[in-house]
Amino acid sequence: MTTRRALDDFRLRFGDHGPEVVPLMLGGMGVDISNTDLALEVARLGGIGHISDAMVPTVTDRRYETEFTKAKLKKYKYNVKNSDKSVVKFDLGMVREAQKLHVEKTMARKTGAGMVFINCMEKLTMGAPKETLKVRLEAALDAGIDGITLSAGLHLGSFALIEDHPRFRDAKLGIIVSSVRALALFLKKNSRTGRLPDYVVVEGPLAGGHLGFGLDWAQYDLKTITAEVLRYLAENHLSIPVIPAGGIFTGTDAVEYLEMGAAAVQVATRFTVTKECGLPDDVKQEYFKANEEDVVVNTISPTGYPMRMLKSSPAIGSGIRPNCESYGYLLDANGHCAYIDAYNRAVETTPPGDKLHVWDKTCLCTHMRNFKVWTCGHYVYRLKDTTRRYPDGTYQLLTAEHVFKDYQYSTEHQIRLPDPEPQPPQKAKGRAAAPETLADDV
């Protein structure tokens, strides 16, 4: 049944006396895709915007001219040709400083009635999973973030890492799960801290980024999982706002979840083609152009999670040398990353003189940092229906305000097109940004 209600007929409130916001949350999109500008715009409009702390030192290098990545590479340059990366470690002081800078600079510009949260992925193991995550969480709290969303992992010990922090009970803390089983496990392991999450994002199989499902993702659906989570919480007398995510493309899609008992929705893909979004403009055009058959869920991420992306992502098949001395965000506690193994296998089997390709894994750090992994939600192919087309075939970028208000006020699955704008002058392809830090630079 099609509802005539709009998302604006609902509000999300944390606790009995907490702030009230429009129940629309912009999901975290690393690396710097849901950037400060985009998150702030969502907060200004009264919703919740996420920044991400994925690869935060390289993000602050690019934005605030710090030189964290260069310093790290300088320290470990001697190891660049070594396939054993176990010596490569992050300086925790540097991680803390970068995170504080990223969050403080964002929060200093915050306006409006909404909130700004940060997305922290557990799979970003950074050579020392516990220690680096603790520093990232603490520094975000120190720098005044409104809330932290724990993602890409079960986070069974993450609350405990910050239970002594003075803001442990005042900041909003949430967790992303893809099943009731993961939620039950999280609640059980965290009961010792005496603190429930303030919200639970239930991410279904149509989301962008990494998926909490196997390659059989198509057998699951968000409505069923959301209903299971709502039932589980009710049966256990737990009052925790539930926020479904993944494939919620219209305001009416959102209302359907709110009418089921969800407290808000989390969305991302529709905001990837906004002017504020951190993707380069030519990549935004790739998202607009995409057709359904151009989207793939593959296993090239070294994290072990399947990931959804455009088949034309330049990262697929790239045989770039592992860049762990500069980046190394996916190194586990023993200095391992599945890409290093895949790369070494390709080096052994590629005949001399042939171009090196690595098909089974990708160097996610380098390619996410350079916007070469075009990860997207399943409905990326519907973005072309949300805007206007210029005579040369390119698409008009949207504003975050337009997309936000379309979610907020639209009814009956309608999507409002933006007012026509003259085509901006063509920019040179690619991004005029700081070059990546490679071994030869230092």
Ligand X SMILES: Cc1cc2nc3c(=O)[nH]c(=O)nc-3n(C[C@H](O)[C@H](O)[C@H](O)COP(=O)(O)O)c2cc1C
Based on the shown chain and the rule CB under 6 A, indicate whether residue 153 belongs to the binding site for ligand X.
no
Closest contact distance (angstroms) between CB of 421 and ligand X is 24
| Cβ nearer to ligand X, comparing 28 with 322 | 28
Based on the shown chain and the rule CB under 6 A, indicate whether residue 269 belongs to the binding site for ligand X.
yes
Based on the shown chain and the rule CB under 6 A, indicate whether residue 376 belongs to the binding site for ligand X.
yes
| Cβ nearer to ligand X, comparing 76 with 146 | 146
3-state SS string over 293-326? HHEEEECCCCCCCCEEEECCCCCCEECCCCCCCC
Residue from the set 22, 175, 242, 245 that interacts with ligand X by CB under 6 A: 245
| Cβ nearer to ligand X, comparing 80 with 161 | 161
Crossing angle of helices 56-64/68-76, nearest 10°? 130
**25: its two tokens:** 């949350």
| Cβ nearer to ligand X, comparing 80 with 245 | 245
| Cβ nearer to ligand X, comparing 241 with 247 | 247
Based on the shown chain and the rule CB under 6 A, indicate whether residue 209 belongs to the binding site for ligand X.
yes
Spatial contact of 123 and 330, defined as CB atoms under 8 Å apart: yes
| Cβ nearer to ligand X, comparing 32 with 76 | 32
CB atoms within 10 A of CB 132: 20
Whose CA is closest to 119, among 153, 92, 170?
153
Bridge partner residues of 395 (DSSP):
389
Closest contact distance (angstroms) between CB of 204 and ligand X is 8
Based on the shown chain and the rule CB under 6 A, indicate whether residue 375 belongs to the binding site for ligand X.
yes
Binding range to ligand X, per CB under 6 A, among 22-30, 57-65, 95-103, 157-165: 22-30
Residue from the set 12, 22, 30, 383 that interacts with ligand X by CB under 6 A: 30
CB atoms within 10 A of CB 86: 14
Based on the shown chain and the rule CB under 6 A, indicate whether residue 152 belongs to the binding site for ligand X.
yes
Residue from the set 23, 114, 153, 208 that interacts with ligand X by CB under 6 A: 208
* 299-338: contacts with ligand X (CB under 6 A): none
Cis previous bond, 255, omega within 30: no
Residue from the set 244, 247, 278, 328 that interacts with ligand X by CB under 6 A: 247
Whose CA is closest to 145, among 221, 52, 219?
52
| Cβ nearer to ligand X, comparing 246 with 251 | 246
| Cβ nearer to ligand X, comparing 6 with 442 | 6
Q: In whole angstroms, give the CA distance from residue 281 to residue 275.
A: 8
Which residue type does 96 have?
R
Number of residues engaging ligand X in binding (CB under 6 A): 30
Whose CA is closest to 6, among 26, 25, 23?
23
Binding range to ligand X, per CB under 6 A, among 15-23, 39-47, 217-225, 242-250: 242-250
Closest contact distance (angstroms) between CB of 258 and ligand X is 15
Based on the shown chain and the rule CB under 6 A, indicate whether residue 203 belongs to the binding site for ligand X.
yes
Based on the shown chain and the rule CB under 6 A, indicate whether residue 61 belongs to the binding site for ligand X.
no
CB atoms within 10 A of CB 392: 7
Exposed (0-12), middle (13-18) or buried (19+): which is 282, by Cβ within 10 Å?
middle
Based on the shown chain and the rule CB under 6 A, indicate whether residue 79 belongs to the binding site for ligand X.
no
Spatial contact of 295 and 311, defined as CB atoms under 8 Å apart: yes
Exposed (0-12), middle (13-18) or buried (19+): which is 218, by Cβ within 10 Å?
exposed
Binding range to ligand X, per CB under 6 A, among 77-85, 93-101, 205-213, 218-226: 205-213
Whose CA is closest to 304, among 201, 154, 95?
154
Residue from the set 183, 268, 364, 397 that interacts with ligand X by CB under 6 A: 268
Based on the shown chain and the rule CB under 6 A, indicate whether residue 377 belongs to the binding site for ligand X.
yes
| Cβ nearer to ligand X, comparing 271 with 343 | 271
Cα 142 to chain centroid distance, Å, stands at: 21
The CA-atom distances, in angstroms, between 33 and each of 25, 283, 284, 373, 434 are 15, 11, 11, 11, 16
Based on the shown chain and the rule CB under 6 A, indicate whether residue 383 belongs to the binding site for ligand X.
no
Chain residues in the site for ligand X (CB under 6 A) = 27-30, 33, 52, 54, 119, 121, 151-152, 176, 203, 206-209, 245-248, 266-269, 272, 375-377, 379
